[in-house]
Amino acid sequence: MRNILIAGNWKMNGDTAGNAELVAGIIAGAPRSERVSLLVCPPYPYLSAVSSQLAGGAVSLGAQNVSEHEAGAFTGEVAPAMLRDCGCDYVIVGHSERRSLYGESSDVVARKFQAALDAGLRPILCVGETLEEREADRTEDVVDEQLNAVIEAAGIAAFGEAVVAYEPVWAIGTGKTASPGQAQDVHAHIRGVVAGHDPDVADRLLILYGGSMKGDNAAGLLSMPDIDGGLIGGASLKAEDFLAIAAAAAQL
């Protein structure tokens, strides 16, 4: 049985005092479960402070983005090794907001994925379709293109160190959640694509669902056989909301 990862993507939210309160709440209320792990992904400026607060505990730290480059003249960018240096174990790559608002192509995402791995970070690769693409029955094509770009660039073995997050764009921050059945179909498809290259890697791969996951819909989603956790936006900003999802996971 695979473990469950509940990851919070804080996006561009928070401040020093509020983060400290949020992290303290998460640490205090984290379920005591061997199977459920928690991860928080604050904005860059707060990584070191949150890392210090998490030190020695079970909650992991990740970043929301990373440069594809190692170092040098890339003003405003943050290198993978810097994230390691600040205590990160994970980094989100290819979030739909990065793809749509900052023009990140699947090739750029693949390079970020590889750069993260090279620095010893575990990339969380986000894939997912827009509403228009779903309505045109193109969900699997879109997910395949996003996934295959990374498989071709990094190789399937790299997925042994990675996490995939299926995030239908139409469900992110909208309050609309994919039904457990809709999400399961795409998760099973993703696992099938990976299994086509390496069944063992596919079997071990954590595939998270993201898109308006909350305490009251988490159990239904997380009980699906190919849904191994959640990437949580809005509901990761309050300890109570985030912990409600973690508690649902711990009860499975």
Please, which residues bridge with residue 33 across strands? none
Supply angle C-alpha 240, 243, 246, rounded to 5: 160
173 binding ligand PEP? (CB under 6 A) = yes
Give residue 55's Cα distance to chain centre: 21
With CB under 6 A as the contact rule, which of the stretches 29-37, 105-113, 143-151, 232-240 interacts with ligand PEP?
232-240
The interface mask with ligand PEP, positions 182-211, x = CB under 6 A, is ----------------------------xx
> Residue 73 contacts by C-beta under 8 Å, 6 or more apart in sequence?
none
Report the run of H or E that residue 124 belongs to, with start and end.
strand 122-127
Going from the C-alpha of 233 to that of each of 167, 171, 173, 185, 236, the distances in angstroms are 11, 11, 7, 22, 6
- Between 40 and 156, name the residue whose CB sits nearer to ligand PEP: 40
Q: How far is the CB of 49 from ligand PEP (least distance, A)?
A: 22
The interface mask with ligand PEP, positions 75-114, x = CB under 6 A, is ----------------------------------------
- Name the DSSP letter for residue 215: T
- Binder among 47, 158, 232, 249 for ligand PEP (CB under 6 A): 232
Binding site for ligand PEP (CB under 6 A): 9, 167, 172-173, 210-213, 231-235
